[in-house]
Chains A and B, each alone.
Chain A
C-alpha cells in the first residue's frame, strides 16, 4: 500500500471516573487514508472528535479499538498497538504534530525551540539555527525576538513559532490542528504557502481548519467526522 496513513475502524471512548464512571463515546468506525502529497481536512462541528482523531494518529490519545496504520521507515505499523518506544520512534522520524498551543520550556529561546527537532535528529546546532531563522523570518517573526523565550510572545507569535517548529523538519506526515487560528491574513497566506510546499515535497497531511477560505485553499479531500459520531 502506498498510503502514509490508513485508519480502519478506530474508536475511542472516555471513561470519566471522576464523574461516577460516565462513559463518553467520542468516535467510532473511523476509517480513511491519506496518500503522500495530499492534505485531508477533517470537518465537523466542535466536539465532534476532530482533535481526538488527530491525537489518536499521533499516539497522544490511546485507541480503544481498530487500527491506525502508519507507514514508518518503509514498513506498515499499527500505532494503536505499538510499544511506547516505537511510538517515540515514529514521532521522531515520521509524524509531526502542530498543535494550537505552544507548550514551551521556560528558558529556551524561540530560535532554539524551532531548531530543536533538527538537532534532536543529529543536525549541527549552527546549521539548524540558520534554518530556524529563515523559517521564522518567512513567518514574520522579527529577529530581535529570536533570542527570547516564546512564553512572553503574543498568541499569534506563539502560534507561528509552533508552526515553524512543526514545519522545519522533513517528516513525511504532518498533523495540523488549526494552524492558522489567531493569525492575520498575511501570515495565513504564509502558512498556506508552507503547506503547499510540503505537499509538493510529498508530505501527507491531516488538518483541522475552521476557516472556510483556508480549507478551500489547502484541502485535497474533506472527511466529515460527523459520520464517525458514536452514539452516546
Chain B
C-alpha cells in the first residue's frame, strides 16, 4: 500500500470525468442491458487492453475499497498485475487476490467461481459491446433493432449454428436477454459463466473503452441465455476434475505440460483453486504441486 503519487488525481481520472462516467453508469443501471454511450478518455494503456473496465473502476473506487483484478480468472497474469499496480499507484487502495474480501473486482473474460455478495461490484472489460455487430455491421441499424426490440437476427445466428454444427456453437460471449428486454453481450466470458449473471447479488458493470459504451446489470436482475426450445442452453465444461484441487464444478484451463502432447486441466479461477487447496482438497497432480504452481501462477 503506497501513498498516491502526487501528480495524479485519485484513481487517475479527474473528477468531472468521473462524474460523466458515473452518470452513464446510473443510466445503465436504470436500463439494464442497454448500451449507454460515454466519452471514453485516453488512458495510459492502448485500446484493447481494458481501458473501458479501468475507466469504470476508476470512477467508482473510493479510498476504502478493496480491489481485485483478474484476467482469464487469474490474478497473476501480466495485465492483471499491471492494472492492479496502476490503481495501487494512482488511488492507493488496498488490493487483494481473495474474491470474498474484494469490494470491486475488475475482470477480463471470466466471472469468479465464488458466488458474489451484495457488497461487491463486478466490472467487466468488454471489447465489442454490440451483440449483433457481426451479423449487422451498421450501427444505425443495430440501434434501431435494440430500440424496437427486433431480435430475429440474433436467433438467425443461433439457427445457423445448429444448421452448420448440429448445436449452438457459440462458446463464449454467448448472448443473453436482460430483464426480458435488451439482448446483451456478456463480454467474452465462457458460456459456462452465463448462469452466474442471473439474479446475482452483486452489481455488474460493463465498460468498453474503444467502443465508448457502458452497460449494467443491477443486482437480482433476470439474465437468460438465448436458445431454442428444442436446443436449450447448456453450460460447457471439460469433463474432468481440476488436477490441482479436484474441483469438478469450476471452469477449467487446459495447460500443455510437455512437448509430447501432455496436458492437464486446472481451475481457471486461481483464487478459488488456492482456497480449495488451502482447505485440504487435492487433485491428481497435486503431488507435483509447487513446480506446477510456479508454471501455472
Contact flag (A, B; Cβ within 8 A): no
Q: Which of B's residues lie within 8 Å of A, judged by CB? A: none
